[in-house]
Amino acid sequence: MATVLISGGTGLVGRTLSKQLISQGHEVRILSRKPKQSGNVKSFFWDVEQQQIDESAFEGLDHIVHLAGEGIADKRWTDQRKQEIIRSRVDSMKLIADTVKRKNIRLKSFVGASAIGIYGMLTSDKLFSESDTGTKDFLSDTCLQWESAYNSISQNTEKTTIIRIGVVLSEEGGALKKLVPQFKLGLGSALGSGKQYMPWIHLDDLVSVFMEALFNSSYKGVYNAVSSEHITNKEFSTQLAKALHKPFFLPNVPAFVLKLVLGEMANMVLTGSKISNQKLMNEGFIFQFPDLAGALQRIVSRK
């Protein structure tokens, strides 16, 4: 069995991945500013701003998963907030990589999170694959710096895998946490034109992708972690209302209203393109939740 260190281990993906790893007999360690023992997960101190870390977390380590980073949609994108979002991803990776190098650790695998935001905030019918580039904007720049930070650990690991994550669907958090209460009141509506695509993935499938990236030797390089369906915001909203057995009749929320409320961050929900998961499919990956209707039904039935 393996020993896995996870940064961002208390987040939605980190918590679920930890449970999955433990259920298979692996040892899980997480990095935290306020370490505390939680079940079978061992917690170790780190402070990214001060570049401090408990190096005992790295003893006998086999794998690292890097999920740490400030929530991209938690606060309005001021210049200061933008820097916080980037630094939380890049500086945290530097601290991990520097420690691995200093201790001369040889990892079996390193898995780093990224996002489909690397293709930029635009709406088009182009099908983006891992080798494509999109528009240059804050999201794409953040993801580029995020992924570039992973180069620093390449000499200390047998393989590196980067997972570009789409909209994560789960009853425990993520996008639906904000949407479901509104839709339950019968106040759900599409955003802007409603024609923007929403590349999505169920949390359970995303965790399975991370598990493959950790332990399957054929998984190397960059993968888009999204379902095969190309769903627009209008279609997504319609299906969510249907899953909740609620009416869906309100007009779309105008783009200018969202921009007034959210500022530049509104572009994140007002745009979206088709994202290919063909590289993942070529690995033989099988989705538990290949269609949105089934995914939403499962999530709603659990809530």
CB 86 within 8 A of CB 142: yes
Spatial CA neighbour of 199 closest among 232, 239, 241: 232
Kindly tell me the number of DSSP H helices and DSSP E strands found in the chain.
Answer: 10, 13
Please report the pLDDT score of residue 257 as a whole number. Answer: 95
Task: Return phi, psi of residue 65, to 5°.
Answer: -120, 125
Cα R_g (the chain), whole angstroms: 19
Q: Which two tokens stand for residue 231?
A: 């769903």
Rounded CA separation 111/213 (Å): 7
CB 160 within 8 A of CB 100: no
Rounded CA separation 114/129 (Å): 14
Rounded CA separation 267/192 (Å): 10
Spatial CA neighbour of 196 closest among 279, 133, 266: 266
- Residue 66: enclosing H or E segment and its boundaries? strand 63-66
Total number of domains constituting the chain: 1
Rounded CA separation 67/71 (Å): 11
Domain that holds residue 295: 3-302
Listing DSSP states for 135-158 in one string gives --SHHHHHHHHHHHHGGGGGGGBS
> In which residue are the tokens 């590196």 written?
160
Q: Which two tokens stand for residue 36?
A: 């505390």
Please report the pLDDT score of residue 303 as a whole number. Answer: 60
Rounded CA separation 11/147 (Å): 19
Bridge partner residues of 110 (DSSP): 64, 160
Spatial CA neighbour of 157 closest among 40, 282, 65, 20: 65
Q: CATH no. for residue 204?
A: 3.40.50.720
State if pTM tops 0.75. yes
How many Cβ atoms are within 10 Å of 246's Cβ, its own excluded? 16
Rounded CA separation 14/117 (Å): 20
CB 113 within 8 A of CB 150: no
Spatial CA neighbour of 221 closest among 134, 301, 121, 111: 111
Dump pLDDT digits (tens) for 85-111.
999 999 999 999 999 999 999 999 999
CA distances from 290 to 180, 226, 237, 295 (A): 21, 9, 18, 8
pLDDT (tens, 9 = 90+) of the chain, 303 residues, equals 999 999 999 999 999 999 999 999 999 999 999 888 777 899 999 999 999 999 999 999 999 999 999 999 999 999 999 999 999 999 999 999 999 999 999 999 999 999 999 999 999 989 999 999 888 999 999 999 999 999 999 999 999 999 999 999 999 888 899 899 999 999 999 999 999 999 999 999 999 999 999 999 999 999 999 999 999 999 999 999 999 999 999 999 999 999 999 999 999 999 999 999 999 999 999 999 999 999 999 998 876
